[in-house]
Amino acid sequence: MRVAFIGLGTMGEPMALNILKAGHEIVVNNRTKNKEELLAAHGAKRAITPQEAAREAEVIITCLSDTPDVEQVVLGDNGIIYGAQVGSVVVDMSTISPEATCRMADALSKKGIKMVDAPVSGGSEGAMHGTLAIMVGGDSLDVAKVLPVLKAMGTTITHVGPIGAGQITKSINQIIIAGVYVGVAEGMALGLKAGLDMEKVVQAISQGAAGSWVLSNRAMNMINNTYPLGFRVRLHQKDLGIALETARKLGVTLPVAAVVDQIETAVIANGYGDEDVSAVARSIREQSGIR
Ligand code: NAP
């Protein structure tokens, strides 16, 4: 298929590479131009604007930071809406507001352009290995059309409902991992203070009921107090903001997510917002006097 990919960040760059490797034609666009070079070296075309990237594409993928960024790239000056062909499908793989997603889908549909929301989980590792979990919202025919491209990036692809349903599913994912990150951080702090060999502790418990992706992949960050990316704390806090807003509208209480939001505020205020989200352990370690 002819694919446009806009947003070559931590996630977007390896996802676009996997699309290329699967044999699709691809044109890339990134705000910071030098980030297009790796893809270009692998055979991707480059476009100066999102509008230009969208022009020839059947499927137009965005993987950007936050809601206003996607709105800018889709609807703003030189945006996708001014370049995309009638019948093409915009697939937004960023994690953003479900409400804004529905509003953008409405604006695009007035021009005969379709939209699917397809946020992902699985971290930078999943993006690199093409093993992301992809939560898809949209019309069945549109989802079927983009499936071959999604398959190049993920192994668990689930059509969960209409447009916006992918983003709500992603919120559920972020609420659950919020508690898990802080739970693992608290466990690691207790073990460090008790003077245990924490590598052995992780080995001992990771196959049991406490086992999780966070324990297996991020506990060592917390033990070593180094937090390479990964997934930025500030992006996870952005996701919790979306979840808390959706929950308030629906009348759902999220007490643990609200506390983790506060812990992340402290981590960001101390200058660690661009570290991996496992840096929530900084807060627990510091409060526990672990240097
Ligand atoms: P990132 O490394 O910060 O990359 C963000 C990308 O968005 C960059 O290409 C950036 O361009 C572009 N961008 C941001 N604002 C823009 C704007 N206003 N106009 C044009 N381009 C803009 O973020 P990421 O980690 O790849 O995350 C991307 C999305 O995936 C986020 O919604 C995040 O929540 C989600 N996600 C991330 C992970 C993870 O583990 N990292 C996992 C699951 C989901 P520049 O290069 O010019 O800055």
Domain coordinates of the chain in residue numbers? 2-162, 168-287
Half-sphere exposure of residue 189: CA atoms within 13 angstroms, side-chain side: 20
CATH-assigned architecture of domain 168-287: Orthogonal Bundle (1.10)
Q: Where are the beta strands (DSSP E) in the chain?
A: 2-6, 25-29, 45-46, 59-62, 89-92, 114-117, 120-121, 132-137, 154-161
73 lines ligand 1 (CB under 6 A): yes
CA distance linking residue 269 with residue 234, whole number of Å: 10
pLDDT at 230 over 90: no
Same fold, 2-162 and 168-287: no
CA distance linking residue 252 with residue 5, whole number of Å: 36
DSSP 3-state of 100: helix
Q: Tell me how far CA of residue 63 lies from CA of 21, 52, 264, in angstroms.
A: 18, 17, 23
Q: What angle do CA 167, 105, 76 make, to 5 degrees?
A: 105
Q: Could you read off the pLDDT of 248-284 as tens digits, one per residue? A: 999 999 999 999 999 999 999 999 999 999 999 999 9
Candidate CATH numbers 3.30.460.80, 3.40.50.720, 3.40.50.300, 2.30.60.10; the one for domain 2-162: 3.40.50.720
pLDDT class for 124, splitting at 50, 70, 90? confident
6 lines ligand 1 (CB under 6 A): no
94 lines ligand 1 (CB under 6 A): yes
Atom of ligand 1 nearest to the CA of 50: 20
Centroid of ligand 1 to alpha carbon of 197 (angstroms): 36
Structure-block tokens of residue 91: 């697939």
Q: What is the pLDDT of residue 265?
A: 98
Calculate what percentage of the chain has a pLDDT beyond 70: 100
Give yes or no: 170 in active site: yes
Centroid of ligand 1 to alpha carbon of 289 (angstroms): 34
